[in-house]
Amino acid sequence: MNAPLPVPQADAALIWQALDALFEPDDVIELRALHTRGRKRTDAGYFDGDHRDALVREAARLNKAGAAVYVTMNRIDPHLLARCANRVQENVTATATDANVTLRRWLLLDFDPARPKDTSATDVQLAAAKDKARECYSFLKAKGWPEPLIAESGNGMHLLYPIDLPNDETNRDLIKSVLVTLAERFDNDATKLDTSVFNAGRIVKLYGTVANKGDHIPALAPWRLSRLVRAPQRTVSITVAQLRALSQAGPVAHQKAAAARFRFELRPC
C-alpha cells in the first residue's frame, strides 16, 4: 500500500504576518472557511484585535481539516462581532456582505492561471501568472502608483494596492472599471486578471494557509502554502485621480519596455 503523500501545513508565523500587513490593530475581521469536499458548507467567525491568536489557531485548524481559508479584506462594521465573537460557527447562513463594509482599504489584482476547475496550478501555470503580475507591477510603477503588497495565493499572484475610499456605488464602479482596463491589457490565454473582485465585501486568501484545490499531486498540481512576498514598511494609498486616469485610459497596446525598468523579486518577506 502506498503511503499518503505529505502535504504542506498552515504556518502560524506567516498568518500573523498577513494579519499585521492587511489590518489595523483594532479591526474586526471575518474569518471564513469554505469546505468544498463532501458535504459543502461555510464556517465563519469574527475576531477583534485582542483575539488575533484565536483567529490564527482557528485558521490553521480549519485549513488542516481541508477548508480553504479566507478573510474579509476591507474594513467591516465592528458590530458584526456580536454575530459570532472570537470563535467560529459551523455551517453559517450569514456572512459579511458589501453593505457591512465601512471603508475600502485594498484594490486586489488577482492573476489566476487558466486551468480546469477545482484543480491546483502546475508549476508552469503558476510561473505564467507570476510573469503577468510582474508586467502589471512594472506598468503601474511607471505610472507613479505606490508599492503594493505582493502575495502568492498558492495558485496565482496577488498585488494589493492600498486605497482609502468610501464604500459607495461611485467607487465600486471605479474599481470595476480599473480591473476591466487592466484585464484588457494583460489577459492572455494562459493567465487572466479576475475582474469579479470589485465588490467591497470581497474575501481574500488568508496568506499563511494552504491553497488546497483538488487533490495534492506534487509532480503535477501540488497544494502550496500561500504567503506574502513583499509588504512595504509604509503603505501609501492610490489617489482617486490615479484610479480615474487608468480607468479612462482604456485598453492600449502592450509595451514591454516598462517591464524592464521595474521588477520585483518573488522571495518571501
User: pLDDT truncated to tens, each residue of the chain (269 aa)?
Assistant: 465 668 999 999 999 999 999 999 999 999 999 999 888 999 999 999 999 999 999 999 999 999 999 999 999 999 999 999 999 999 999 999 999 999 999 999 999 999 999 999 999 999 999 999 999 999 999 999 999 999 999 999 999 999 999 999 999 999 999 999 999 999 999 999 999 999 999 999 999 999 999 999 999 999 999 999 999 988 899 999 999 999 987 554 444 444 444 555 655 54
Domains in the chain with CATH codes: 12-261 (3.30.70.1790)
Strands 29-35 and 41-47: antiparallel
CA distance 121 to 62: 22
